[in-house]
């Protein structure tokens, strides 16, 4: 999940991947490209781990090559970054598609890509597996990928473009807690970034691992609060 606010951006991703009900593993789904004072780019991935890792690896390889190679470091705008990510996704898809289809599968990778390049405001996009993308706006200030439905109601009710970074970060964590209670495909650790507009640097980053005391406190307080509000609702009139 990623949120675009007037004060900045919030990014969060879980770390659970699975190939079946008895095969769970943890991999970080958050990738950061940061050149302080120039640009901050954050990618959140979902879908096939092999597909997303191939895309990230190729982006990193091109970023390291230099010598005029189109990369996340040479892109002039966030739109140019998205075109670059799209091209890389299609390159990986073209390489692997025939083999994946032969085994009954297909290329399945999607990304949330956000950040800021010096000279333009923060921007947030959702990249689909086909390589096309949409951009968040003031009317639609958050985007999700992966398992979205269980944690979406709280985000719909709380998040607005005027919401503070602190409140948005708290809301995002509650959303993940709600999702993890209802779906085993989402699990700890959770990676969280709160980026302040125009800072062009990441100064607020946390990883919440299994058993994290602060996350547990937040989860408990939310559960207690929901039950309390429920008890205070008016009874149905018959």
Domain ranges in the chain? Answer: 2-232
Structure letter (DSSP) for residue 126: E
pLDDT digits (tens, 9 = 90+) for 167-205: 999 999 999 998 888 877 788 899 999 999 999 999 999
- Residue 35 is encoded by which pair of tokens? 């050149």
pLDDT digits (tens, 9 = 90+) for 52-65: 999 999 999 999 98
Q: Are 197 and 116 in contact (CB under 8 A)?
A: yes
Alpha-carbon torsion 113, 61, 132, 28, what sign? negative
Query: Quick check: 106 pLDDT over 70?
Result: no
| Cβ neighbours for 97, distance < 8 A, ≥ 6 positions apart | 106, 107
pLDDT digits (tens, 9 = 90+) for 22-57: 666 778 999 999 999 999 999 999 988 888 999 999
Please name the CATH architecture into which domain 2-232 falls. Answer: 4-Layer Sandwich (3.60)
Three-state secondary structure call for residue 224: helix
Three-state secondary structure call for residue 37: coil
Query: Quick check: 94 pLDDT over 90?
Result: no
């Amino acid at each position: 999940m990623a949120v675009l606010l007037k004060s900045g951006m919030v990014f969060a991703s879980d770390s659970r991947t699975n190939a079946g009900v008895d095969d769970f593993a943890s991999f970080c789904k958050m990738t950061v490209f940061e050149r302080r004072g120039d640009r901050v780019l954050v990618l959140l991935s979902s879908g096939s781990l092999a597909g997303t890792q191939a895309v990230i690896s190729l982006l990193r390889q091109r970023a390291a090559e230099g010598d005029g190679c189109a990369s996340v470091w040479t892109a002039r705008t966030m739109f140019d970054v998205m075109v670059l990510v799209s091209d890389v996704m299609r390159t990986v898809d073209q390489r692997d598609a025939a083999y994946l289809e032969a085994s009954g599968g297909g290329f399945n990778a999607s990304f949330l890509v956000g950040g800021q390049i010096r000279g333009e405001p923060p921007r947030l996009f959702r990249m689909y597996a086909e390589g096309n993308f949409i951009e968040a706006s003031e009317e639609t200030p958050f985007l999700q990928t992966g398992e979205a439905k269980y944690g979406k109601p709280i985000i719909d009710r709380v998040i607005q473009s005027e919401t503070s970074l602190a409140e948005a970060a708290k809301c995002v964590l509650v959303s993940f807690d709600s999702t993890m209670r209802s779906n085993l495909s989402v699990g700890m650790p959770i990676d969280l970034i709160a980026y302040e507009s125009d800072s062009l640097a990441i100064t607020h980053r946390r990883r919440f691992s299994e058993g994290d005391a602060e996350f547990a406190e937040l989860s408990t307080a939310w559960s207690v609060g929901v039950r309390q509000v429920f008890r205070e609702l008016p009874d149905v009139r018959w």
